[in-house]
Chain A
Amino acid sequence: MKYESNFRKTVKKFFRRKLAVVGLVICLVMLFVAIMGPSLSSYSPSETVVEDRYQPPSSVHLFGTDDLGRDMFARILDGARITVAVGVGSTCIALVAGTLLGLLAGFFGGVFDTVISCFMDALWAFPAIILALAINTVLGPSLLNIFIAIGVVYIPDFFRIVRSRTITIRELEYVIGARAIGQNSISILWHYVLPNMSSTLIVQTTLCCAKAVIAEASLSFLGLGVPLPMASWGSMLKSGYPLLERAPWLSLFPGICIMLLVLGLNFLGDGLRDALDVRIRDD
């Protein structure tokens, strides 16, 4: 019963924050768009109509048309799939790998901790885009490889947080108690340590997702992102840039969408942080 009341309190606290609700709505809309994709538009994202090239935004073509006469609104809907998929997919990789390594390093300490921590410091020293570029070049162009390249880059973010939280939690009485009644390490990590950092992880996950979206857009802009014929919002920016003077809408709309998504994720992350922080009380 107590758990539910805590949960309710958190939900109430969350919904009292206007920006957090705005963030949640943006994220849900983006997710909906990504799932439904081009079926939300009467145009096909790949259909080229030569006589409709470079149409500015109008009631017929909401976001205008590109150099091949394709409807930009349909393309944006299609691109949402890739962008959201990369954001979620790479964050999942960073979350799982970073959490696992952080738990083990923090809990067991010793040589394992030293080696992994050093390795994470080394990964951390590479500027994100450069490391993702290098990994992606090694793995070759594919959607899954983009997940991995961006995911690996953000593993140290999760590792550092989880490791330091684990070191604190492992000294707490209930963990010592669990050990005393003969629970094994894996069970302690899973049942006692991990649940106690879930709020930190939830916040970090939303913020990491935002960073991954920008990383994907940057990679695609450099021409080393998702392979053709797939198109993310980032690769649309790349193809729109040389046409900036002739058809600025080709660069405007994908950029606005990326920014909205990142903004939504940041609002959501900040809102969750406040709502899950027991030190902050609204009443």
Chain B
Amino acid sequence: MSKRQNPSEFLKQIIGKPVVVKLNSGVDYRGILACLDGFMNIALEQTEEYANGQLQNKYGDAFIRGNNVLYISTHKR
């Protein structure tokens, strides 16, 4: 990560893409980033919940409150 991007550039690149959203609790959610709002609340589609690398649950739509998110990264399916 050489130079800091304008946030909207980064967000433009990842919306509609498969992402991994890791929560502070360590659980991560993989799904298509449907949209996000000004608080960085995150809405995912086709969400899969992983704990310790194991699939726990599947959700159609999932809404994650932004302040619980440790990181978000792109994910190749």
A, B co-complexed: no
A residues contacting B by CB (< 8 A) are none
